[in-house]
């Protein structure tokens, strides 16, 4: 197969040119970073699991009418997506105090919030993704007011849907991060959900034990990182109880053997 043109490499994913104009291939790596890439590591099989989990969630969101960039999964580590113009804003939705909210405001981790909070961060690694307000978004033209209304509406719908989906499998959706992008229909721009939804960008706690089943295990050196990602996939019905990474990573093994 001809070498594909790489469009972009991020910390956890690579984007390649897709088979048709307006499409891309999104490749999920096992690389993990935290604290703006000051901490780096590998979570074995993460790319495979995140590809599956994100496929599952984006497909489900599409069935309730949330537009996304997802078209279809093509193999263990890759999915076909629509090319979008990424809006440089990370949208964080919080149901329970944790992470930077607890740190910044001194609210004990695990405190149920009386209402859902949406926060915005400017997507700029060099600046360390600073928190921003609507005023900054309007002032610097990162998105229009109409786009921000659509984004907030979609973020709430995603939160309601995912909170229920995870509650049904004994998982508390503490918080998560979303990214959005524009697609054009002639001159008309529409905002759709982009990036991924996986344990990399969500806090997922076991509902009974409050055990962390997400990237905080890596960030905080808690151990059992691979197992946590597998557990989420298993509860979502995406991994059979006896499936492990040796099976899941067949594509990788074949590639390494040069087949």
- Give contact residues for ligand TMP (rule: CB under 6 A): 92, 98-101, 129, 175-177, 201-203
DSSP 29: P
Taking the least distance from each CB to ligand TMP, the nearer of 38 and 63 is 38
Min dist. Cβ of residue 172 to ligand TMP (A): 12
Report the nearest approach of ligand TMP to the CB of residue 65 (Å): 24
**Which is closer to ligand TMP, CB of 81 or CB of 98?**
98
- Say whether 252 sits in a helix, a strand or coil: helix
φ/ψ (deg, to 5) at 69: -80, -10
- β-pairing verdict for 171-185 and 85-86: antiparallel
In the bound state with ligand TMP, the residue whose beta carbon lies nearer, of 167 and 247, is 167
Q: Kindly state the smallest distance separating residue 50's Cβ from ligand TMP, in Å.
A: 12
Nearer to ligand TMP, 59 or 220 (CB): 220
Please state the closest distance from residue 216 (CB atom) to ligand TMP, in A.
Answer: 8
Cα–Cα distance between 76 and 25 in angstroms, integer? Answer: 12
In whole angstroms, how close is the CB of 137 to ligand TMP at the nearest point? 17
Task: Rank residues 214 and 226 by Cβ distance to ligand TMP and give the closer one.
Answer: 214
> Toward ligand TMP, which CB reaches closer, 104 or 259?
104
Give Dmax (Cα) for the chain: 55
- Asked if 94 contacts 116 with a C-beta cutoff of 8 angstroms, the reply is yes
DSSP reduced 3-state for 52: helix
Tokens of 134: 């609507």
Question: Which DSSP string do the residues of 36-105 spell out, in sequence order?
Answer: TTTEEEE-TTHHHHHHHHHHHHHHHHHHTT--BSEEEE-SSSEEEEE--EE-SEEEEEEEE--HHHHHHH
Residue nearest to ligand TMP (CB): 99
CA distance 185 to 93: 29
CB of 11 to ligand TMP, least distance (A): 9
């Amino acid at each position: 197969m001809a070498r594909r043109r790489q469009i972009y490499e991020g910390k956890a994913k690579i984007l390649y040119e897709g088979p048709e104009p307006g499409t891309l291939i999104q490749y999920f790596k096992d690389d993990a970073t935290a604290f703006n890439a000051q901490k780096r590591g590998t979570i074995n099989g993460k790319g495979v699991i995140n590809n599956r989990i994100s496929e599952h969630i984006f497909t489900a969101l599409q069935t309730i009418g949330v537009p996304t960039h997802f078209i279809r999964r093509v193999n263990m580590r890759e999915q076909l997506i629509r090319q979008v113009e990424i809006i440089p804003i990370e949208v964080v939705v919080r149901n329970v105090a944790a992470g930077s909210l607890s740190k910044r405001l001194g609210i004990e981790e695990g405190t149920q919030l009386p209402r859902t909070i949406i926060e915005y961060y400017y997507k700029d690694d060099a600046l360390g993704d600073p928190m921003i307000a609507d005023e900054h978004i309007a002032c610097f033209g990162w998105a229009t007011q109409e786009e921000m209304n659509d984004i907030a509406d979609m973020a709430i719908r995603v939160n309601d849907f995912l909170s229920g989906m995870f509650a049904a499998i004994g998982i508390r959706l503490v918080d998560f991060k979303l990214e959005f992008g524009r697609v054009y229909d002639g001159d008309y721009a529409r905002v759709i959900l982009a990036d991924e939804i996986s344990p990399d960008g969500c806090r997922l706690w076991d509902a009974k034990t409050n055990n962390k089943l997400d990237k905080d295990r890596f960030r905080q050196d808690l151990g059992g990182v691979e197992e946590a990602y597998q557990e989420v996939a298993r509860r979502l019905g995406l991994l059979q109880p006896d499936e492990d990474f040796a099976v899941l990573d067949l594509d990788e093994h074949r590639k390494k053997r040069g087949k």
